[in-house]
Structure 1
Amino acid sequence: MDGRLCSKVTCAREAVATLTFDYGDQMAALGPLGGTDHPHAHDLCAQHADRLSVPTGWIVVRHEALRA
């Protein structure tokens, strides 16, 4: 496996999405896997991306990859 792994502890699946947070705006952004491994972003596998939950009052912005 050449790809990056999911950031969740004990998960060994390949990451397919990247999660970032904006604490000031209480927002989480989930999008396609970022081009680089950024220290303030969290890479997630498909299962953990689908099950994403955030604190009460926060919003989640999901960026879908463009499909041809």
Structure 2
Amino acid sequence: MRERFCSKVGCAREAVSTLTYDYGDQMAAIGPLGGTHDPHAHDLCAIHTERLSVPKGWVVVRHETLQV
């Protein structure tokens, strides 16, 4: 699998999560890096994942990977 990089302009860090938006429901979902690149999603590095902010009134859903 090819290495994927953060979608933020000017960031060259390796992506660790994938962000998707649902504009109708005013929701952002962020979770582990998707298995394949999706043109409708945004891959983010660890720093941009932590700094994620959304418009006022929006909900952020964070999907965490279970550690067993």
TM bin, normalised by shorter chain, reads over 0.9
In structure 2, stretches of 5+ residues that fail to align are none
In structure 1, stretches of 5+ residues that fail to align are none
CA distance in 1, matches of 2:65, 2:32: 6
Q: How many residues align?
A: 67
1:41 aligns with 2:41: yes
Give the root-mean-square deviation of aligned CA atoms. 0.6
**Who is 1:20 aligned against?**
20
Structure 2 length-normalised TM: 0.96
1:56 aligns with 2:50: no
Structure 1 residue ranges, 4+ long, deviating more than 3 angstroms after superposition: none
Structure 1 length-normalised TM: 0.96
